[in-house]
Structure 1
Amino acid sequence: MPEPAQPTSPSSAQVTAAEISRIAGVTRATVSNWRRRHADFPAPNGGTESSPLYDLAEVQAWLRDRGHTSSASAAEALRTALRLHGPDPDSARFFLLLARAHMLTERTPDELELLPDEQLLTTAETAVNAPHPLLGVREEPARFAPGDVAVVRSLLTCVREAGVQDAMDVLAERELEESAATGAYQTPEGLADLMAGLLPKDTDSVLDPACGSGTLLVAAAEHGAHRVCGQDSLSLQVQRTLLSLVLADTALQNGDRAQAHVGDSLRHDGFPDETFDAVLCNPPFGDRDWGHDELAYDPRWAYGVPPRLESELAWVQHALAHVKPGGWVVMVLPPALAFRSSARRIRAELVRSGAVRAVVSLPPRVAFPLHVALQVWVLQRPESGGPDRPSVLFIDGEGGEARETGGGAGTAGISSRTSGQTRRMSFDWAALTARVLPQWAVFRDRPESYTGEAGFARAVPVVDLLDDIIDLTPGRQVRAGAAEIEPEALVGQLEQLQGQLAQQIQTLADAAGARSWPAAGAELRKWRTATVADLSRGGALTVMRAAAPSSRDSRGGAGGAAAAGGHRPVLTAHDVASGGPPSGHTNEAHPEPGSDVAEGDVLVRAHPGNDQTAPMTRVAGPDDAGAVLGAHLHLLRPDPARLDPWFLAGFLGAADNIASASTGSSLVQVTVGRLRVPLLPLAEQQRYGRAFRQAYELAAAARRAAALAADAAATAAAGLTTGALVPTKSNDRTDQGQSA
């Protein structure tokens, strides 16, 4: 067994400016200011002029002398420790330490971190080399060298503060790049839960032939499966799968009920001749080297030899070959597979045989790759003498929306790292699951009585699908049933929209003519101003912001909005921009104590976004009171005896003010402390505040009228094109009047 790598000695360890900012818990700009303003800041001892490197020990000493204790997250601290540690030929021992971290029960985590280095390493070795019913015993005992101390300590701290999942994700980053280059993508836990929910409740055994980090197998176990098996071509992924199963369900922690093998499932099947009740899989996409030539005569291709560029069809047939007759397959697949001409012949055979039972489209940006709206296919292996399957269920779930919610990895969404920054997309999987599963359950159990849901779900006869294209795109198939809408119901819907639009137009007219604003004179008014930071220091207002999310929050731990009082409305940056009510989900909120929204608070969006007309500020009203502060929002709570909230919101949201307080190019960040406010007496502030409120209400009325007009026009056009509505003579008279 190779000896553990000896890392660079602490005295020569080098860090970048970005790593210094994470260690100190400050921005890159602050580090740049330190370099310019402090002559004693450590000089670069490596790197290049544009990307210098600094001695870590010197930087840490400089920070300690100035009282800058590290406020980097535990995950960032572990990431830095791993980079400084260097390449390691036996990184698996750190995964094993994670798996057995819960076995270190002789001491509390705090006591472990206080152990001397040698004793800590001995304790870690004892835990790692202990037999485990699922992980087994290593052929060669693991050893930890003195150079591993920093990583071991950071690992234990990360487990304690952020959880095992975050620590495991950081370890995996060193060896796995989840990107389009590899075709391997992380499956969000919300998607995994939806897929496992599509299986019958009595599903006992589940296989994932491309198990990745084990998310789908964990979901299967949580839904009642008693045996879960996986395979992946990367040893690292198999380690992650086994560790995830260890952490998820102690009932699976033996070699009979949970297994995972390393190997290419298509070329070297780890479970030959075995069949399961179900297969859950999120296979690699667009793999041109899947084995087309060497597997040309493989018996798994019961529906046709997959074309070289259609590796997903190889995975579909591999999965069907691994389930019992009548067994289920649920897979994540790219949308092009539903209509691409090269896949048409095999699609036709799958549909004709009754293997395809349902196709569910997902919104874009809810799972990697983010640029496409993925689909979930539900298939069932045909069985001799089984019931007829005369139709296929299509569910169009593309209407949802994923929002960027900041740093941290979470289970309700997905995260990726770009240029050292973590971007997280959050999506309400629970809401989509609550709509999809009832539709699927009725169709699966009583297909003859299934009626569908207009605009969302529709059962299409197999005979209607077997045309020249065999298009299985849910959106097209669901829209094709629009003519089934009841005309009278559509008329009632249109009349309701038109009535609301008439009322809103009157409201808009009232708002437009409510007040006038006379000119200031020949010259512009000028004021002395103060920054928000100055006003905060003077006690005129308090600035708050939601805390950065952690995986513990997103998994329902002690943090998050749920812990702050159950499922409560969350006010998001999207709500401020759109003028809508609180619409966020509790997994998007990570509130600091006392940061609940109160009436009269001023909310400022942290990122302007692409829509330059959307408001940047909003004054919280009665409907917002009690909501949890969501991500990417600043909350300013003014002292009512010194600042009028509408006056504050109006000047803070001015385009010039926002521009002068913003930094960045691709992702613009508003530094709220730099926003400026005129210094005016309270009575004059209130006059400005009333005017700003009238302008805000005018814009809000215009947005609501535009939305209602668009809905009414779209409803009328849909009714006319589907035959549910017919034009009348009044339309002719209107046209003639316009011509005259």
Structure 2
Amino acid sequence: MSPTSAVPVSLAEIARIAGVGRAAVSNWRRRHDSFPSRIGGTDVSPQFSLSEVEQWLRGKGKLSDAGAREFLWPRFEALGSRDESGLTIAEAARRMRSPRARSAGPELSAEARALAGDAARLGRSEGQRTTFEFLLQRWLDTHVRQLSTTPPPLATLMARIALDSRIGEGAGGLTVFDPACGTGHLAAAAAAEYDGPGLTLLGCERDPALAALASARLGFVTEGRDVVTEIASVDALRADPFPGPRADIALCNPPFNERDWGYEELATDQRWTHGLPPRTEPELAWVQHLLAHLRPGGTAVVVLPPAVASRKAGRRIRGSLLRTGMLRAVVALPPGCAQPHSVSLQLWVLRATPDGAASGPATQDALLVDATRSARPVMREQGPDWATLTDFVRSAVSQLDSPEEALPEGAVRVSLLDLLDDEVDITPGRYTASGTEPSRVELTASWNELADSFDELGGLVNHLSKIGPTGAEPRTTATVGDLAKAGALTLSTGQQPADTATASATSGAHLPLLTVADLLLDGTPTGRVTPSGAHAVAEEGDVVVAGVVRAFRAWVHQGEPMALGPQLSALRVAPEKLNAHFLAGCLRAPMNGRQAGTHASSSSRVDVRRLLVLQLPLEEQAVYAETFRRLAAFESLLSRTAGLGRGLADDARDRLAAGGPTR
């Protein structure tokens, strides 16, 4: 029996294998009698035999370039166990890099060993690291509810802060320590950021599958370099495999809110030099564990929930960390940087006392950084503007040892005298808010800007109010689909690209990628893609349409070319037949979007081909286009004025509540 004969796949998985949308697979199933029969699932969510699907796709010539890897993944899912599938991926990686070495990990089933061999062979033919990273990412995506990972941009930021803030370096190069390493995101980031000689990566992970995957990941990341890697599969707090101060930098994203961290058995542990962490404060146990492993002058950067900065139970330990000068900075991140995405997590920057320094703090203050306003608002799917956030945080933390240097707005130095009160609350927003109050000159300028906006709105209202009711005779319209057939425009629709990167990738070889999620924020593209014929690209003068009810809109694109994601379309007009601004105005009509919607819900799609456009001579289109332009300017100005007014109202309330004068 073929190893894929009993493996079930869904319509969505078939779509990924073929590199098409799910709707296309449903269409194949309806149109082709030869399409494989259902072997399981339900009528709504049917399942098919992977081997039969492969045979049918090959026969029809419908396999994508990534089809081989996509065919492999359902077999990992069919193993049925998160741990076994993860260990099988790690074993495949080991065989890719060292085919003849004996496995030192847990014993796998015969099916898993065969799958690891197939994956290793595929990796050697299609790229070992690419294949491993594909399988690892699919594994992480499949088990996202059970696993908490550190997003690569956050891992890079933490590594840069630690490398920038450490004092000195070990004689044998750099040693990096992560006692809760997961799949190795932080250690991999440190390896990527460090370009000096001699690198040692030490990690602990109590989950054997995660530990094996971390070891495999770091093997690929450090290949060809002078790097020593050691990942121990243990509970680092209970069974520390790397005792003593050995690390130049320590990075950690520890588990949050775990009560069973070893409070009873570790009550007399020597690591608790700042006090025994309360049972309800496991995060402070991890903080002291990191400090116990730092060489003098070494730096630790740890991700913590915001409550650790203010909970009453931990105030004694926080006070000790401040008094000894080991807690150097606290950075409040915007929500969406890491799981849990709804919480504004914090980065604590800690430093072991350098050799020759006094036991007390080198400075009499701590650096508190509120980065929650440094990046644009976030969504879970997109996260913050990492380029802006990284630049802001690094510029603030770079002044850690330069008390005479000015700090960027949102960062303050707070004296230990002010911090060491009854609460020892080190939440950055508590101390940075007062420093953002605008001056009288800035306030006057804002009120003048609001008045100018109202004047400009008045002029637009005077013009737009003359738009009268429609005439008695209905005007002739045509659909976008009809216009495309007539050659008046060409339509291209965006797809989910396979090579998305963060917006911080500034290489000229990439195009900005706009998605519906970006439109729901401020319309700034957050991704980038490598240009190829597979991407729908909007160029200057093209009309872009968002084909989903919750974000339905249409506009004329201005600026550099931009790739489009799913549910976005680019319409390129034939200028001798259509005016782009006229087309965008017609398409943008809410009534038009409602009649072209596929369902009534806000998440339903809009069939762009069904959108209606008035049929007018080109000269008359230009007249309508000018009014559509003014209408768009009115809408934009109205939104900006509302935001400016709300900000001024909030500031006025703050001033009055603080006892400010009424005039």
TM-score above 0.5: yes
1:301 to 268, 272, 276: 272
Unaligned runs of 5+ in 2: none
Output aligned runs, 1:252-331, within 5 Å.
253-254=226-227, 257-331=228-302
1:648 to 574, 577, 583: 583
Cα distance in 1, alignment partners of residues 118 and 610 from structure 2? 39
Structure 1 residues 628-670: Cα deviation after superposition (integer angstroms, max 9, x where no partner): 3354542211111222222321232232433433569584444
Structure 1 residues 240-271: Cα deviation after superposition (integer angstroms, max 9, x where no partner): 322333333346555xx322111110111111
Aligned equivalent of 1:214: 184
Aligned equivalent of 1:245: 218
Counterpart amino acid of residue 457 in structure 1: A
- Do residues 44 (structure 1) and 38 (structure 2) align? yes
Counterpart amino acid of residue 649 in structure 1: A
Structure 1 residues 426-475: Cα deviation after superposition (integer angstroms, max 9, x where no partner): 43323222222232222x2223x255344x00111111112232211111
2:459 to 500, 510, 516: 510
Assess, with a 3 A threshold, how the Cα gap between structure 1 residues 374 and 669 changes in structure 2: closer, same or farther: farther
Counterpart amino acid of residue 186 in structure 1: T
Between 1:222-231 and 1:663-672, the stretch displaced more is: 663-672
- Do residues 544 (structure 1) and 492 (structure 2) align? yes
- Equivalent pairs counted in the alignment come to 643
Question: C-alpha displacement at 1:315, in angstroms?
Answer: 0.8
Aligned equivalent of 1:189: 152
Assess, with a 3 A threshold, how the Cα gap between structure 1 residues 608 and 395 changes in structure 2: closer, same or farther: farther
2:48 to 46, 54, 62: 54
Question: C-alpha displacement at 1:377, in angstroms?
Answer: 0.5
Counterpart amino acid of residue 437 in structure 1: R
Structure 1 residues 371-427: Cα deviation after superposition (integer angstroms, max 9, x where no partner): 1111000122346724543111110001223656xxxxxxxxxxxxxxxxxx84243
Cα distance in 1, alignment partners of residues 89 and 28 from structure 2? 36
Does the 8 Å contact 1:96/1:128 carry over to 2? Answer: no
Output aligned runs, 1:329-728, within 5 Å.
329-382=300-353, 385-386=358-359, 387-399=361-373, 400-401=375-376, 424-442=381-399, 444-447=400-403, 449-454=404-409, 456-482=410-436, 490-515=439-464, 516-522=466-472, 525=474, 527-530=476-479, 532-545=480-493, 548-551=496-499, 553=501, 562-564=507-509, 583-584=524-525, 587-592=527-532, 597-609=538-550, 616-620=553-557, 624-631=558-565, 633-659=568-594, 660-662=596-598, 667-718=603-654, 726-728=661-663
Does the 8 Å contact 1:245/1:252 carry over to 2? Answer: no
- Do residues 95 (structure 1) and 90 (structure 2) align? yes
Aligned equivalent of 2:201: 228
Assess, with a 3 A threshold, how the Cα gap between structure 1 residues 157 and 700 changes in structure 2: closer, same or farther: farther
Does the 8 Å contact 2:79/2:85 carry over to 1? Answer: no
Assess, with a 3 A threshold, how the Cα gap between structure 1 residues 604 and 312 changes in structure 2: closer, same or farther: same
Question: C-alpha displacement at 1:604, in angstroms?
Answer: 1.5
Question: C-alpha displacement at 1:511, in angstroms?
Answer: 1.0
Aligned equivalent of 1:205: 175
Question: C-alpha displacement at 1:45, in angstroms?
Answer: 2.8
Does the 8 Å contact 2:86/2:209 carry over to 1? Answer: no
Question: C-alpha displacement at 1:541, in angstroms?
Answer: 1.7
**Paired residue secondary structure (2:507):** helix
Cα distance in 1, alignment partners of residues 195 and 604 from structure 2? 46
**Paired residue secondary structure (1:365):** coil
Aligned identity (percent) is 35
Question: C-alpha displacement at 1:529, in angstroms?
Answer: 3.1
Counterpart amino acid of residue 194 in structure 1: L
Between 1:33-42 and 1:507-516, the stretch displaced more is: 33-42
Assess, with a 3 A threshold, how the Cα gap between structure 1 residues 662 and 162 changes in structure 2: closer, same or farther: farther
Does the 8 Å contact 1:658/1:675 carry over to 2? Answer: yes
Between 1:502-511 and 1:8-17, the stretch displaced more is: 8-17
Assess, with a 3 A threshold, how the Cα gap between structure 1 residues 627 and 243 changes in structure 2: closer, same or farther: same
Question: C-alpha displacement at 1:28, in angstroms?
Answer: 3.4
Cα distance in 1, alignment partners of residues 610 and 378 from structure 2? 26
Assess, with a 3 A threshold, how the Cα gap between structure 1 residues 663 and 289 changes in structure 2: closer, same or farther: farther
Assess, with a 3 A threshold, how the Cα gap between structure 1 residues 145 and 262 changes in structure 2: closer, same or farther: closer
Counterpart amino acid of residue 559 in structure 2: A
Assess, with a 3 A threshold, how the Cα gap between structure 1 residues 276 and 20 changes in structure 2: closer, same or farther: closer
- Do residues 17 (structure 1) and 17 (structure 2) align? no
Assess, with a 3 A threshold, how the Cα gap between structure 1 residues 288 and 335 changes in structure 2: closer, same or farther: same
Cα distance in 2, alignment partners of residues 646 and 652 from structure 1? 10
Cα distance in 2, alignment partners of residues 324 and 689 from structure 1? 68
Q: Calculate the TM-score normalised by the size of structure 1.
A: 0.76
Counterpart amino acid of residue 376 in structure 2: E
Structure 1 residues 308-329: Cα deviation after superposition (integer angstroms, max 9, x where no partner): 2221111111111111344322
Q: Calculate the TM-score normalised by the size of structure 2.
A: 0.85
Does the 8 Å contact 1:192/1:219 carry over to 2? Answer: yes
Question: C-alpha displacement at 1:33, in angstroms?
Answer: 4.4
Cα distance in 2, alignment partners of residues 564 and 90 from structure 1? 36
Cα distance in 2, alignment partners of residues 140 and 261 from structure 1? 18
